Amino acid sequence: MLTIDLRGKRALVAGVADDGGFGFAIAKAMIEAGALVSVATWPPALGIFRTMLERGKFDASMALSDGQKLQFTKIYPLDAEFDSLDDAPTELRESRRYRDLGDFSIAGLAAAVQADGGVDIVVHSLANGSEVKKPLLETSRKGYLSAVSASAYSMVSMVQRFGPLMPKNGGAFVSLSYMAAERAIPGYGGGMSSAKAALESDTRLLAYEAGRAWGHRVNVISAGPFASRAASAIGIIGPMVDYAKRNSPIPEEITAEEVGATAAFLCSPLASGITGSCVYVDKGYAAMGIAVDRESPPKS
């Protein structure tokens, strides 16, 4: 039987803060495939995440197919807006949620992961736009650049820092995008559509550069709309999910597990020939050119 086999691989999933999003589903799928998986969490959410884990609030989601309970190898702090600790403002470093975490930057994360045994797979499940509810015409320069920094450049920074640490000719990176990268989605604002477009464009160039430098692969998943806790910040996620469902070739909502399985496949030896690709996990919605949840136009 042909199976996804990640035994002997160490994976890092950046952007896990609960059990309801794509990051958690990807981590779980990779553990099911045999990988040792660590996660990285935004500092303001880190304490709550650890408390929920300790109190068993995620136990139902952590059940594996063999009856065992999912275990993360380690949970790291990460604020992906900072390449190094020196980039973070002093007041932030000294704030209650950050001061006891050590180096929470991308460089700090890379150093900690290397010290803990290294990594073969890095998943970028990071997105943040402080003005996502604002139309682009009302988005400030600060909000726009912040969205691109946290949601797109952070991937570039992670490949820069983790690429040299991975075993030659075997590393795999994957990130998460959305159709707003290529089509207008009113309501998905604040520069987030621009950030996703940058993420997909960067994937192609990073695939070339990381492939030539180290033999690593870089891909991106364009997932359909999904009502995770994080996506609730968009404000219109419910209608987005419903519209995609009604107008997709397979009129169903996507599941986090479908995205998780795709990520595990893309990071496995089964996908050794795939790099620089954007893989759609959206029930075919991206293939549609006209809405079908209405009466057909009258024949001329």
Beta-carbon count within 10 A of 111 CB:
15
280 as an active site residue: the answer is no
- Any idea what DSSP says for residue 147? H
Cα–Cα distance measured from residue 126 to residue 296, given in angstroms and rounded to the nearest whole number: 39
Please indicate whether residue 188 is annotated as part of the active site.
yes
Q: Which of 76, 98, 178, 285 is catalytic?
A: 178
Closest Cα partner for 10 from 31, 40, 41? 31
Closest C-alpha to 220, from 244, 237, 196: 196
**Does residue 256 contact residue 228 with C-beta atoms inside 8 Å?**
yes
Distance CA 137, CA 50 (A): 39
**Residue 237 contacts residue 21 (beta carbons within 8 Å):** no
Structure tokens at 49: 């995440």
Return d(Cα 83, Cα 154) in angstroms, integer: 8
d(CA 266, CA 84): 29
List 98, 153, 188, 285, catalytic entry: 188
The rounded distance, in Å, linking the Cα atoms of 237 and 286 is: 17
Question: How far apart are the C-alpha atoms of 258 and 222, rounded to whole Å?
Answer: 12
Q: Are strands 121-124 and 172-177 parallel, antiparallel or unpaired?
A: parallel
List the catalytic residues.
Answer: 178, 188
